[in-house]
Chains A and B, each alone.
Chain A
């Protein structure tokens, strides 16, 4: 059974960089049939797509976050990562990593989510 687990600091200071890693177990991140991505949900608000990555490194980002976001993949350790620069309180959210099936709207596996708070 595939499992995704987010890891990273739960508290980040304003203007600094938020860094999260998603560890994939029970399956290979080098699947040719899937993308791997990040989604967040700020308190009291809806879901927001952050971006996706293919195991070969192709990336797709939300235009509203593109200037601050980098998603990378490490096939040797079966994990992928998110970096969000110059964070503000508006970036406080539960961050989820997820797997998306290629050529479909199907996000079939999600991590449990991790709360990241931006505060001094």
Chain B
């Protein structure tokens, strides 16, 4: 199975909004509402930010939101803050009863 496609990097200034895309196929992202997003800071374990396309776990800021259209899922970070600088990965269920991650996006706060 191929990794989901994410931009290698996205940057923005504090206070701005950025969107990270995650493109798959009709056999994964497009087929199920089982897409999640993880934030990972260097040397730390990944942290769940969004699950099942658009749901935020308890304790996650409302500045993070998720959506999906056809085979592409998106994570939007509004009101960008310095602490948001990290790697972000999307994750999807597939029609083969397996899971796949995106290649990852490095978010830089200018």
Q: Which residues of A contact B (CB under 8 A)?
A: 39, 41, 45-49, 52, 60-64, 96, 104-108, 110-113
Contact = CB atoms under 8 A, between A and B. Distances in A.
B31 interface: no
A46 B103 contact: yes
A104 B103 CA distance: 21
Interface of B: 1, 3, 34-36, 38, 40, 45-48, 51-52, 57, 87, 89, 91-93, 96-104
Contact of B34 (A49, A52, A104, A112): A104
Contacts of B102: 46
A79 B8 CA distance: 36
Contacts of B1: 62-64
A47 B57 contact: no
Contacts of A61: 98
B36 A46 contact: no
A63 B46 CA distance: 23
A28 B73 CA distance: 33
Contacts of A113: 45
